[in-house]
Structure 1
């Protein structure tokens, strides 16, 4: 069945969900997870009370969806930056450069990604974990090829991504005089160190029993 504006029921549900995510993005970015309520999200989105439960069980689920959108957008930026760069080190630098530029120009995004997801519930924590692995998969693709017996490069890539995340927090908090370019240089240095070690020790067994 179609309504007066020519949209199907499924399209109307998807549109309301999008509006809730956009409202959540604005409010979580402005007031944080603890400072946001379902009612505030509904007011910002212009939707009636019954429509929140249509798409989300609670604020935790909404924040998880907001974070997922942020990561999806970052993955698109990172892939474009990697494709435009030449060589694994240059691609790694291009990837972290793209991430830092996006965060520098959008402080609400930075707050949600680096701070608010840490204070949310289990749904958001699981989504954050998934997001870190998605970014790590891109990094792992840039690392040197190794024999299957060498272990899982994704573990090392995840280490680079997790460390980069902490550096981003340090930078955005204004600690230790760290600059955006400093983050790019430090993360690239770590990536290069991992890549060089992998190339020099092809029989390493990361993650295997000791």
Structure 2
């Protein structure tokens, strides 16, 4: 067994080695570039093979990097999936936020349609995103609506704000989380069906099929809002 002093010396030597600059590129920058390559490779592997069939060797082969670089960044294949999923959800949130900001003063239904359009366009642009976001992530628990900061949690907050904007005084017995969870489930399941058909229908049609539920909800809220007035009339 090696003496602790030898191990410490080797650790210091390895750290110094990885921080060296080659060709004008620092060790930190090379590490960042390798991580980006691994995540891009993860998108390709997870997006085409699916989570269950993907392996560390597949990702390394796609990135053209040695296996040791994989373990410099990820502890296992699930850790790599989480990293790829985080990149996609961050991109999706940015896309939806930007789109909705453009209709900030519009009607609740228009905001919803705009957000859903951005959501489905993001999926359609790259079918690999559908495999990861629609098929694997929900099954692996990464799209938990209750998980603060997750894409679905942010989407749920957005939907709740739209519902409240439509009706400032919600029925006292209305569970807003159940409502938004159901609407999110509709968006995801519609997207899965759309993906399996090869995105045959245009995005506008997919959005309209979601809006059936939103229009029904809006009508129901209007009815609930009228009841106190009818009772006092």
**Is TM > 0.5 for Structure 1 vs Structure 2?**
yes
Identify the structure with bigger relative contact order (alpha carbons < 8 Å, sequence gap 6+).
Answer: 1
Change beyond 3 A, Cα 1:135–1:169:
same
Structure 1 segment 64-79 matched on structure 2, within 5 A: 64-79=82-97
Aligned counterpart, 2:125? 105
How many residue pairs match? The answer is 195
Shift >6 Å, 4+ stretches: none
For residue 54 of structure 2, give the secondary structure of its aligned residue in structure 1: coil
Of 139, 158, 166, which residue of structure 1 is paired with 2:159?
139
Aligned counterpart, 2:213? 190
Aligned counterpart, 1:122? none
Aligned counterpart, 1:126? 141
Cα deviation 1:160-199 (Å, max 9, x = unaligned) = 1111100111112129x85532220021222233344345
TM-score calculated relative to the size of structure 1: 0.79
Cα deviation 1:50-99 (Å, max 9, x = unaligned) = 22222222112211221221111111111111111222110100111111
- Structure 1: runs of 5+ lacking an equivalent: 120-124, 203-210
Aligned counterpart, 1:205? none
Of 31, 39, 43, which residue of structure 1 is paired with 2:49?
31
Cα deviation 1:122-143 (Å, max 9, x = unaligned) = xxx2322233222212222222
TM-score calculated relative to the size of structure 2: 0.72
Structure 1 segment 149-168 matched on structure 2, within 5 A: 152-168=175-191
Q: 1:174, 1:100 → 2: CA distance?
A: 14
Two-structure CA RMSD over aligned residues (Å): 2.7
Matched, 1:7 2:30: no
Q: 1:13, 1:127 → 2: CA distance?
A: 26
